[in-house]
Amino acid sequence: MTTPEPVRQRAAQLRRDIEFHNRRYHQLDDPLISDAEYDRLMQELLALEREHPALQAPDSPTQRVGAPPAAAFAEVRHPVPMLSLDNAFSEEDLIGFSRRISQRLGREDLSFVVEPKLDGLAVSLTYKQGLLVRAATRGDGQTGENITTNIRTLPVIPLRLNGEGWPEQFEIRGEVFMPKQGFRALNERALAAGEKAFANPRNAAAGSLRQLDPRVTATRPLDFYCYGYGLYPAEELPETHSDVMTRFRTWGIPINPELHVVQGISECFAYYTDLLTRRQALPYEIDGVVYKLDNLGDRETLGFVARAPRWAIAHKFPAEEATTRVAAIDVQVGRTGALTPVARLEPVSVGGVTVTNATLHNADEVHRKDIRVGDAVIVRRAGDVIPEVVKSLPELRPDNASLFVMPTQCPACGSDVESIEGEAIARCSGGLYCPAQHKEAVKHFASRKAMNIDGLGDKLVDQLLETGLIGTVADLYRLTVEKVAGLDRLAEKSASNLINAIDASRYTTLPRFLFALGIREVGEVTARTLAEQFRDLDTLKTADEATLQTAPDIGPTVARHVFTFFRQPHNLEVLQGLLDAGIHWDAMPERIAAEALPFTGKTFVITGTLDSLSREEAKALVHSLGGKAAGSVSAKTNFVVAGADPGSKLTKAQALGIPVLDEAAFLALCQNPSSEFTSSQPTEIGA
């Protein structure tokens, strides 16, 4: 049955939203929504995919966990994936979980290991010959971040195991967290020193563990409890998980004292109820209870679904809520131009914290929940960074309550606000000028695939903006060695190198320049398409939306973004400042009819490391010959170019029978493509 288009669009939007919040939570340690709201998004997507199986895709967030590892740490491939857990939100969910596993196992006399669900950072610790040799974060479940040096600073984690009988090599898994008392003391010290306090213990733990300087980690009050294992010799495992944990405890591995074995789902629920009543008295933050089948043989029988084991579930506590009143609704402009309505609340205590602000996410959410200035509302916190308004209480609404209207001009810079049909988030279109977006705009402008200004990193951008040396990207070209040499950690040699890199960037290409402007949804490929279609900047600037859509693969949404960007006076001022600073490029070469190019209609995937050219250069070569360079392998791929360490893309290509080219064969094909493409059935070339 065909999936209705509105359903397909909603699923796509949910995937984008969830991936965005995954990155904010797991990678940046800076979540924007509550756990409850995240769970709601995930449950909605799961329901859509169950109802419409055609929507399921390997890259859906329902099929994976977390977010990619941060670039600051070396990557670690988990020998056994670190999966997430499915969630139960009610007694009915718990009964359904019990019924499913009982039916699969054919019996109901089941024992469960139960323990608190800690609110910290999941880690994997590998021991070899009794010594700690590696520690990693969960990352995306397949690949994490190497944090061995930082983990070694935690006194609670044994560097050498006690006793004897441990396997030659094995892996334990657990949660690094910050106890409540340590969190309070850490924030008190930060405030006394005039520094920013952490929002909650989870963020404090994650930020502490992922410090680039392990000496900082060593000063933080971190703790750890083991909850299980990953890689472990099967022949050395006992019969039950509880026996494994007892064994770990004798080796000096910390185990939560609240861990127990219970019989049946009724005792699971009794444990949940008891822990919920004692939640505030516990020395650490928890957001629920975890139940796991105790018998390891039963676990083997049940197995896994895509992102979670069938034999375990997390029973989430209800979010903490309170009632207050909306005093005003303001609009904040984020670093990427997103406009977010924020409720200014009459102060109210939620979970022991005074709340005065709550996110409303977007205008659609405000109207869906019918939240008005003056309304009585229910606010939920649940230990998260930013509380949210759950719903309004219309029965308590005063006569003078006023509706919220999203502004049409950006509150930060006055540029037009873009509200694209089908998109929930409104955005400022003054990306080159808007002060709320300055940092992101400068970082993107200077990035390697844009203007390629080497040495202009995050911290230096912050200093340049904070000291007022730059306001927009055009100001970069007014910098001198004398102006920047006095900045923190920037000696005269480094300052000279930076100015030289800025000067070198004045000569670029039109596609790179268009990409550097940061126009919404104009990536490298789209920038190249626009440059090839319109040939020069003036023609592109004056094109209307209909004319923009005459370019290949430029639809109405991208056309609207480009058109709107070039209609903002402030953007044009910055653009002119860049041109006045001497940025220039060679004229675009004469167009060749697409059908005359030898790679027209052919799709290549570049994977691994090539010797003589970068992956970007290889993609550019494919494009120059009329072909398409895709990022993933599919049945529509014609060739995969494999360099060193090609990874899963090579495996998939071989499974699909797609021709694989080594670097020499690829370059030979680029030099003489006609003979290969005259064959109706291409054959594999190279190794």
Residues annotated as catalytic are 117
79 to each of 210, 231, 289, 685, how far by Cα in Å?
22, 7, 27, 32
Instruction: Choose among 587, 583, 577, 580: nearest CA to 503.
Output: 583
Q: Are 643 and 610 in contact (CB under 8 A)?
A: yes
Rounded (10°) angle between helices 458-466 and 438-446: 130
User: Got the DSSP string for 381-434?
Assistant: -TT-SS-EEEEE-GGG--TT-B-----SB-TTT-PBEE--TT-S-EEES-TTT-
Residue 269, SS3 per DSSP: helix
Q: Are 175 and 224 in contact (CB under 8 A)?
A: yes
Strand positions, DSSP E, 141-285: 143-145, 169-177, 223-229, 260-263
Using CA atoms, how far apart are residues 585 and 512, in angstroms rounded to an integer? 10
Residue in the structure block whose two tokens are 């359904």: 96
Using CA atoms, how far apart are residues 563 and 557, in angstroms rounded to an integer? 10
Please give the structure tokens belonging to residue 271: 């444990």
Write out the H or E segment, with its range, that includes residue 256.
Answer: none
CA dihedral 241, 247, 251, 255 (to 10 degrees): 40
Residue 498, SS3 per DSSP: helix
Please give the structure tokens belonging to residue 647: 């990874």
557 to each of 317, 487, 553, how far by Cα in Å?
41, 42, 11
CA 357 from chain center: how many Å? 24
Question: If you ran DSSP here, which 8-state letter would residue 27 be given?
Answer: I
Using CA atoms, how far apart are residues 479 and 503, in angstroms rounded to an integer? 10
Question: If you ran DSSP here, which 8-state letter would residue 645 be given?
Answer: S
517 to each of 212, 292, 520, how far by Cα in Å?
31, 51, 9
Please give the structure tokens belonging to residue 61: 């967030």
Residue 654, SS3 per DSSP: helix
CA 1 from chain center: how many Å? 33
Using CA atoms, how far apart are residues 74 and 76, in angstroms rounded to an integer? 7
Using CA atoms, how far apart are residues 290 and 275, in angstroms rounded to an integer? 11
Q: Are 21 and 32 in contact (CB under 8 A)?
A: yes
Q: Residue 87 contacts by C-beta under 8 Å, 6 or more apart in sequence? A: 39, 43, 93, 288, 313, 314, 315, 316
Question: 634: how many CB neighbours lie within 10 A of its CB?
Answer: 12
Q: Are 524 and 515 in contact (CB under 8 A)?
A: yes
Longest dimension (CA), the chain: 79
565 to each of 165, 218, 471, 525, 683, how far by Cα in Å?
66, 48, 19, 18, 46
Between strands 628-630 and 584-585, the pairing is unpaired
Using CA atoms, how far apart are residues 630 and 616, in angstroms rounded to an integer? 12
Q: Are 310 and 300 in contact (CB under 8 A)?
A: no
